[in-house]
Amino acid sequence: MKDFKGKHVLITGGASGIGKIMGRLFLEKGAILIIWDINQTNIDKTVKEFSILGEIHGYKVDIADLVQIKSAATVVASTIGTVDVLINNAGIVVGKYFQDHTSTEVIQTMNINANAPMLVTLEFLPAMIKQNSGHVCNIASSAGLISNPRMSVYAASKWAVIGWSDSVRIEMERQKIEVGVTTVTPYYINTGMFDGVRSLIPILKPERVARKIVRAIGKNRIILSMPFSMHFIRFSQGLLPIWLFDWFTGSVLGIYKTMDHFTGRKE
């Protein structure tokens, strides 16, 4: 989908972080922007800030709640129309050893990070299929490719997203449906979500990440990994014995220690 002018673009978690930046970029390309977010204050600020760029609609939606997803989707369909580009961007992280999680944290993380992208897509994909055009972009994580201490539940949720997302992509291709699916697997992004993380590999800049995602959707990219070195994770896992991969990843690159000082975003 090279031309976004007049297209309806819906972004979950669209009132902050890379979701907000992507929204601005789409408005600059002439799209009609729809943002879903759980924070009403951020929604109001974003709508006010971006209204000079084009048409924008903001909805408060808790995507961990199926009732709210269905209700908001119905409103969007009836008042705005078919969503042409859906970006499942919203996510949360709890930086703890697994045994320190509460059951509520586990369920909440899986609901928002893994279940919600599927349930939100289920609301909008049928209309895309009917018009035989559209694009679904799912923001996963490099944590969906590599195990990491203090990220067990987050990693589980992102592994789920990657498997589901690419399966839907193949399903669209096999059915000869012109709906593209892009799966994004970035390293840590400097949005505040991962405050406290220390990494030898440079932490990604939000503006650059957002621009690459928008460009990838326009080019119908299948997988977008950032930085480029993330492409070699699967290859290395298949090539190296596990003990050697763990040693290189943990001791040389220091990835297994990146969450040791995690604090997360301060609300």
- In tens digits, what is the pLDDT along the chain, a chain of 267 residues? 778 999 999 999 999 999 999 999 999 999 999 999 999 999 999 999 999 999 999 999 999 999 999 999 999 999 999 999 999 999 999 999 999 999 999 999 999 999 999 999 999 999 999 999 999 999 999 989 998 999 999 999 999 999 999 999 999 999 999 999 999 999 989 888 888 888 888 889 999 999 999 999 999 999 999 988 787 888 888 889 999 989 988 888 888 888 888 887 765
Known active-site residue 154: yes
CATH number at residue 130: 3.40.50.720
* Residue 59 falls inside a structural domain: yes
* Residue 39 falls inside a structural domain: yes
* Residue 63 falls inside a structural domain: yes
Residue 32: domain span = 8-257
* Residue 266 falls inside a structural domain: no
Alpha carbon distance 249, 236 (integer Å): 10
Alpha carbon distance 258, 267 (integer Å): 22
* Residue 79 falls inside a structural domain: yes
How many folded domains does the chain comprise? 1
Q: Residues 155, 158, 159, 164: what is their CA dihedral angle, to the nearest 10 degrees?
A: 160
* Residue 267 falls inside a structural domain: no
* Residue 263 falls inside a structural domain: no
* Residue 168 falls inside a structural domain: yes
The active-site residue, picked from 59, 97, 154, 187, is 154
pTM for this predicted structure: 0.94
Residue 81: phi and psi, rounded to 5, are 125, -165
